[in-house]
Amino acid sequence: MTGIRTLVVTAANVADYLEIPARIQADPTLVVRVYPPVGGRLVAVNVKPGDQVKKGQSLAELQSADAVAAHSEFIRARTDAELKRKAMERSQSLFDHGATSQRELQQAQADAQMAEADLRRAETALKVIGISPDSTSDRFIVFAPRDGVVMEIGGAPGEFSKSLDAPAPVCTLADLSHVWALGDVYEKDLPALELGAQAEVRAAAYPEKVWKDRVVALSGGLDAATRTLKVRVQISNPDRRLKPEMFATIRLLRPPREVILVPAEAVLREGPQAFVFVVKQAQGFERRSVQLGQAHGGQVEVNSGLKPGEVIVTEGALLLRAPAS
């Protein structure tokens, strides 16, 4: 018939995948919540959200009585250690000349050792909180512990910070050179999921870009509300194009499978039903119901209803539709 074109049905290997919705998150192991090690009043906050900072850069400045107290304790311990050391030296000299007892010498030695231990403790405390032994200021600088992007600011000049007891950090830093794509997988799809599986990530903001990596983490149990399992894919993000909370999709690649593919224009639909016209040598054309699968560009999978070798109508099926019905 004029306008009718046909095609022999064949089987083909197609790449199989599972596509799940996801969102971008900062890698939790690369997120640092910066708390000042001392309490005090915030004098200045030197960064704002979105700033890229380097390790050792000043983030904020506090006026801190705690810093003054820690330094005073160090000065007291250093002075006491020096006095006890000189007292021990005098006791040693007197003992050598027989002018004092061994008990008094031992007491002086014990006092010197205890004073030296107190000095080391005070010196270590200064080192931990980042105060120089030579400092005489009540100002304390909060430095960035690593490179990163400022995600949040938790204070403003004039507010008081309670050191590690503060309800919020002075600021939160995140290294976005690597990020996670976090998705939810339903129970029925769990057999196709495994740690280390190859994955492709596409962000809604950059539909033309594909990030390829592997599944690095699976949650230990299902979410009771959504009945899904959390899956995480780590992505290298050197240009920082991917931002936390962006929408994305994760495509989990599976081994290829053999399916029947037909052109999409060969499939006709009536309500929820899909059918094609199969060429019969003697009877003409047969209307055949089919079950469809995934679409692949201009083709669609046929899960049931056709066999390889059968001939179907690819163009002009609408001409056959009324006579067949």
Whether the pLDDT of residue 38 is over 70: the answer is yes
By CB atoms closer than 10 A (0-12, 13-18, 19+), residue 225 is: exposed
Q: Are residues 188 and 80 in the same domain?
A: no
Please count the other Cβ atoms lying within 10 Å of the Cβ belonging to residue 91: 22
- CATH number where 119 lies: 1.10.287
Nearest to 161 by CA among 59, 232, 24, 11: 59
CA atoms within 13 A on the CB side of 190: 12
Q: Are residues 144 and 123 in the same domain?
A: no
> Higher model confidence: residue 97 or residue 247?
247
Q: Which domain holds residue 121?
A: 66-129
Q: Are residues 80 and 57 in the same domain?
A: no
Name, in order, each residue with C-beta under 8 angstroms of 225's C-beta and a sequence gap of 6 or more: none
- The overall average pLDDT reported for the chain is 86
Weakest-pLDDT range from 10-19, 24-33, 69-78:
10-19
Q: Are residues 155 and 270 in the same domain?
A: no
Q: Are residues 59 and 143 in the same domain?
A: yes
Q: Are residues 205 and 293 in the same domain?
A: no
The β-bridge partners of 148 are 53
Number of domains in the chain: 4
Give a yes or no: residue 33 inside a domain: no
Helix (H) or strand (E) holding 229: strand 228-236
Question: CB of 94 within 8 A of CB of 108?
Answer: no
pTM of this structure: 0.64
Final residue before a domain boundary, out of 214, 233, 256: 256
Give a yes or no: residue 48 inside a domain: yes
Give a yes or no: residue 102 inside a domain: yes
DSSP, res 53 = E
Q: What pLDDT is recorded for position 201? A: 93
Q: What pLDDT is recorded for position 265? A: 85
